[in-house]
Amino acid sequence: MPTADYQAIVAAPGFALGVQCDDDEISLIEFLEPQAERAADGPLAAEAARQLHAWLADPAFVFGLPLKPAGTAFQRRVWAQIAAIPTGTTRTYGELAQSLNNAPRAVGQACGANPYPLVVPCHRVVAAGGGLGGFNRHGGGFLLEVKRWLLRHEGCLPR
């Protein structure tokens, strides 16, 4: 996606975050390849960038952003379960699936469809047996390294 489609770009260690929003709601936060920060275009984009920086400085930071309603009813149920996972803790796809009376694969698909990573911390959902699982609809590469960094940042993995 061209950077012009983002109202802000926040630089992070080894990646960047693109923020899409209007004046009232955040519609997307997307992981991007590492790149320079871009100043926010508008007050909500500036607030999103401020909160993302706060989380990058302190993973215990609690977000308070207005998120545009998105997803199916099932996806929203999964995202609510994910949002309840405490900082520094992980849950497996199977554990979430069991609590939702559904299949782990469906939970994984809902995680991959999450439009608000970090705010809805899908990186805290991992595979059974200690594996990372996928991330952001990818099973490896750049985004899996981002997931590894996020989990280390929160103290879920050794540094």
**Residues acting as catalytic residues:** 122
Which tokens is 88 given?
């520094």
CA angle 119, 19, 136 (to 5 degrees): 60
In degrees rounded to 5, what are phi and psi of residue 13? -65, 105
Q: How far apart are CA 61 and CA 58, in angstroms?
A: 6
Classify each residue of 65-77 as buried b or exposed e, where b means 16 or more C-beta atoms within 10 Å of its C-beta. Answer: bebeebbeeebeb
At residue 29, the 3 state secondary structure works out as strand
Across the beta sheet with 8-12, the strand order is 8-12, 15-21, 26-32
